[in-house]
Structure 1
């Protein structure tokens, strides 16, 4: 494979957005206005809303960073609540959604195309709040990401993150059989890589609780709260088997 896997994944996500992917549908004008009026909710995982007490009491004047959070969903919401938002994503289509919402609603946002496997382009202690929807399943190593999040957050700043727990990677397409072992890493499993339709799935990775949650703790975070969520559809969802976590952590 000559092309970097993160470049492949950016193209894959662009394709999903064109097909109407849930996480690529930007916020409507009506939803933006409702958020300004106090009627809002945020998703980090498919079905469960983030608890209100995970958010700051007042976002006015606060600096918010959306890590791999393009798509015009979380950042418009927090802008409507008064935050000064910056978003980084590697998918041009996801960033275009951010631009469209900002232009429609006439607000400023800093939009950066960047690969989250690289050091983040910000000074230490820059942000008050970080939003990280489910997305680190598209990168091989997550612990460096937690270290970077800790570095760029101000003391007392919060990180809220959606995390894949790995269950989706062990099952067949219809989710009725266990067909793969963990960890799921196509870069280290040639037979798995050969079986992928990369244009359809990209190159994804399972991550352990040690990587996802202990990784945050090792970076210096204090874990404050956590919840589980399902896929929102499919056989695992019908059986109420959680496939995602969400965490709230504080520097």
Structure 2
């Protein structure tokens, strides 16, 4: 089997062709509001980011990590940030390039796997904006470690994590309106599924995902030198799922600080 990130790259390229809502760019209204100083953007799937989390980004170096699709990067650039958009999907990045050209924005485009940020120098960025995407990598602490390295002292990481509990349930049963616990946590498409189930996902252009643990998702930030200074939760958008798991996503604001602080 090829490296799983190759499949995820192909899956997100495919989603752009389908017009997936996370790949179709931001609206003209959002861009106009951003230029006026009002950022209407999401970190977790649905709730808007508190303005206080992103208010100080004008003129600052911002890395939009795993953030292609012509959405958050475009809005932050419209607001006045110096934006670098990094994503594994070349089709997603084309969305950013197209909209940036249309709007007269300057954005640096970087294609790559979020597990490898070695191209960026130490203490380069003031802020890293990472919408829900750590579920697509197998080692979340590796990413946290690299984010800490490339952030300036006192810099901020905004990241969104999927509640591991979502991966316990049988997807087929959920489609039929039933919630059935099927998998143990931590979940991995590569280990938790049968070979037949995995091949079926790949043929459907589904992403390969990992649940991680709360210990890694939250405690891992502290271990890698961040202090968690704020957090809010979000729903899944599926009434059936939300009735079982209220806090489906966690949006976390973490500041680069002394190692081991939280």
Shift of 1:116: 1.2
Q: Is the 8 Å Cα contact of residues 165 and 185 (structure 2) preserved in structure 1?
A: no
Please show how residues 14-163 of structure 1 align to structure 2 within 5 Å.
14-57=13-56, 59-163=57-161
Q: Is the 8 Å Cα contact of residues 139 and 204 (structure 1) preserved in structure 2?
A: yes
2:186 maps to 183
Shift of 1:238: 4.6
- For 1:224, what is the secondary structure of its paired residue? strand
Asked if 1:209 corresponds to 2:214, the answer is yes
Shift of 1:234: 4.0
Output the CA distance in 2 between the equivalents of 1:26 and 1:12.
18
Task: Provide the TM-score with structure 2 as the length reference.
Answer: 0.90
Output the CA distance in 2 between the equivalents of 1:240 and 1:168.
7
CA RMSD of aligned residues (A): 1.6
- For 2:113, what is the secondary structure of its paired residue? coil
1:195 maps to 197
2:259 maps to none
Q: Is the 8 Å Cα contact of residues 63 and 125 (structure 2) preserved in structure 1?
A: yes
The farther-off stretch of 134-143 and 113-122 is: 113-122
Shift of 1:144: 0.8
Output the CA distance in 2 between the equivalents of 1:56 and 1:155.
18
Shift of 1:96: 0.8
1:168 maps to 166
Q: Is the 8 Å Cα contact of residues 170 and 178 (structure 1) preserved in structure 2?
A: yes
2:225 maps to 220
Q: 1:247 aligns with which of 248, 252, 257?
A: 252
Output the CA distance in 2 between the equivalents of 1:49 and 1:93.
25
Shift of 1:240: 6.0
Output the CA distance in 2 between the equivalents of 1:242 and 1:212.
14
Q: Is the 8 Å Cα contact of residues 29 and 105 (structure 1) preserved in structure 2?
A: no
Output the CA distance in 1 between the equivalents of 2:77 and 2:232.
25
Shift of 1:176: 1.4
Q: Is the 8 Å Cα contact of residues 185 and 213 (structure 2) preserved in structure 1?
A: no
Structure 1 unaligned blocks of 5 or more: none
Output the CA distance in 2 between the equivalents of 1:6 and 1:194.
19
Shift of 1:190: 5.6
